[in-house]
Amino acid sequence: MNTRRTAIWLGSLFGGLLYLFILAAGPIWGGIITAEATHLSAAGR
């Protein structure tokens, strides 16, 4: 019983961290992609 509770706790903790990471990574990736696109279009001109 205790092992199962620990597994559920670890699972929820990991899920929460993963969710926060995806939430934080979204704008970062968006910024990188936008910067790259701007850089490429500027270099192409």
SS3 45: coil
d(Cα 5, Cα 12) in Å, to the nearest integer? 11
Q: Would you list the domain boundaries of the chain?
A: 1-45
User: How much is the pLDDT for 39?
Assistant: 80
Angle at 17 between CA 14 and CA 20, to 5 degrees: 150
Tens of pLDDT along the chain (45 residues)? 789 999 999 999 999 999 999 999 988 888 888 888 888 777 766
- Quote the pTM value: 0.52
d(Cα 22, Cα 14) in Å, to the nearest integer? 12
User: How much is the pLDDT for 45?
Assistant: 63
